C-alpha cells in the first residue's frame, strides 16, 4: 500500500495566487514526521518544511505553510503569493518511528507550473 | 557551509562496465542515504548508514549494487556490471540522525546513463 499519496500529478496556477498541494499518508505509528521537498528543473532536492506528529501548531517557513490534519492523515503544503520561481516538482515524504529510524518514504510528486 | 557533494555529476558508460558514484556528506552529519530517482519508480531509498554502519539495505536492487562508507566523510555506491535499466539519477543525502526533525540534505545527484 502507498504510504504517501500525492493525488495531483500536475497543477497550473496564476502568479501571485496561493496554491495548495495535497499529501495524504498512511501510518500506524504515533511518532512520525512529514517533510516537503522542492525539485526544480535543474534537479536538486531542496528541503522546504517539516511537521512532526506531536506538533500542535501547523509549521510555517516564509511563504510555505503546512495544513496538518492529523485525524485525516493529511499534510498539505500551502504556498502563498506564488512566484514564477515556484515552478517545480514538489515531493511529500514521511519518516516513521522515533529517533534513530531515519528512513524517508516519498510520494510520487506534484508538478507545479506558475503562469505569468 | 558546503553541502553534500556528489561526483561525477554525469556518467555515460556502456553496459557491463563498473560504475562508482561518490558522496561526501555534510560535515558533522552522521546519517547518509543513497536514493535512486526514475520516472517509473520515483524516489527510492537504496541504502542508508548511521555512523558509517549500513542500517537498511533492503532497497538495493540486487547483488550488482554495493555501497560502502569507510569513514564519516566519504561513501561510494558501486554497480558492477552495469545494465541499461540502471540508468537513473542517483542522489546522496545526509542528516544529523539523532534529532527526529532534522531534514535530509541532498546532493545535486549523479545522472547515470548506461548504453
Confidence of residue A102 (pLDDT cuts 50, 70, 90): confident
Q: Exposed (0-12), middle (13-18) or buried (19+): which is A77, by Cβ within 10 Å?
A: buried
For CA atoms A18, A94, A29, B41, the dihedral sign is: positive
* Chain A contact residues (CB < 8 Å to B): 31, 33, 35, 37, 43-47, 50, 52, 91, 95, 98-100, 102-109
Report the largest interatomic distance among the alpha carbons of chain A, rounded to a whole angstrom: 44
CA distance readout (Å), A8 to A3, A47, A67, B5, B114: 16, 20, 16, 32, 31
What pLDDT shows up at residue B98?
64
Q: Exposed (0-12), middle (13-18) or buried (19+): which is A1, by Cβ within 10 Å?
A: exposed
Higher pLDDT, A30 or A107: A107
Instruction: Give contacts of A105 with chain B, Cβ < 8 Å.
Output: 45
Instruction: Give contacts of A100 with chain B, Cβ < 8 Å.
Output: 50, 97-98
Contact B33 A104 (CB under 8 A): yes
Distance from CA of A21 to the nearest CA of B (A): 18
pLDDT digits over A53-86, tens only? 999 899 999 999 999 999 999 999 999 999 999 9
Confidence of residue B81 (pLDDT cuts 50, 70, 90): very high
What are the residues facing A21 on neighbouring strands? A77
State how far the Cα of B29 lies from the Cα of B105, in Å rounded to an integer: 10
pLDDT digits over B16-52, tens only? 999 999 999 999 999 999 999 999 999 999 999 999 9
Q: What is the DSSP string of B44-106?
A: EEEEEEETTEEEE-TT--STTEEEEEEETTEEEEEESS--GGG-EEEEEEEE-TTSTTPPPEE
What pLDDT shows up at residue B7?
97
State what percent of residues in chain B have pLDDT above 70. 96
State how far the Cα of B52 lies from the Cα of B29, in Å rounded to an integer: 11
The residue among A36, A45, A53, A107 with the most chain B CBs within 10 A of its CB, best to mutate, is A45
Tell the residue number behind the cell numbers 504517501, with chain if given: A4
pLDDT digits over B42-77, tens only? 999 999 999 999 988 989 988 999 999 999 999 999
Amino acid at each position: 500500500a502507498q504510504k504517501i499519496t500525492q493525488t495531483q500529478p500536475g497543477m497550473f496556477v496564476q502568479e501571485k495566487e496561493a496554491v495548495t498541494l495535497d499529501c495524504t499518508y498512511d501510518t500506524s505509528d504515533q511518532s512520525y514526521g512529514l517533510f516537503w521537498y522542492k525539485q526544480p528543473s535543474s534537479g536538486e532536492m531542496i528541503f522546504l518544511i517539516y511537521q512532526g506528529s506531536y506538533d500542535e501548531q501547523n509549521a510555517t517557513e516564509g511563504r510555505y505553510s503546512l495544513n496538518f490534519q492529523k485525524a485525516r492523515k493529511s499534510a498539505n503544503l500551502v504556498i502563498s503569493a506564488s512566484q514564477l520561481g515556484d515552478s517545480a516538482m514538489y515531493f511529500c515524504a514521511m519518516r516513521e518511528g522515533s529517533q534513530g529510524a531515519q528512513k524517508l518514504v516519498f510520494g510520487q510528486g506534484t508538478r507545479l507550473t506558475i503562469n505569468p | 557551509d558546503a553541502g553534500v557533494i556528489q561526483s561525477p555529476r554525469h556518467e555515460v558508460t556502456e553496459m557491463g562496465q563498473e560504475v562508482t558514484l561518490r558522496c561526501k556528506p555534510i560535515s558533522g552529519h552522521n546519517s547518509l542515504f543513497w536514493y535512486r530517482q526514475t520516472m517509473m519508480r520515483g524516489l527510492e531509498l537504496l541504502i542508508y548508514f548511521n555512523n558509517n554502519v549500513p542500517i537498511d539495505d533492503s532497497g538495493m536492487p540486487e547483488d550488482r549494487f554495493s555501497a560502502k562508507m569507510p569513514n564519516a566523510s566519504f561513501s561510494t555506491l558501486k554497480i558492477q556490471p552495469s545494465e541499461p535499466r540502471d540508468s537513473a539519477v542517483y542522489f546522496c543525502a545526509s542528516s544529523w540522525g539523532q534529532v527526529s526533525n532534522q531534514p535530509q540534505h541532498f546532493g545535486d545527484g549523479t545522472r547515470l546513463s548506461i548504453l
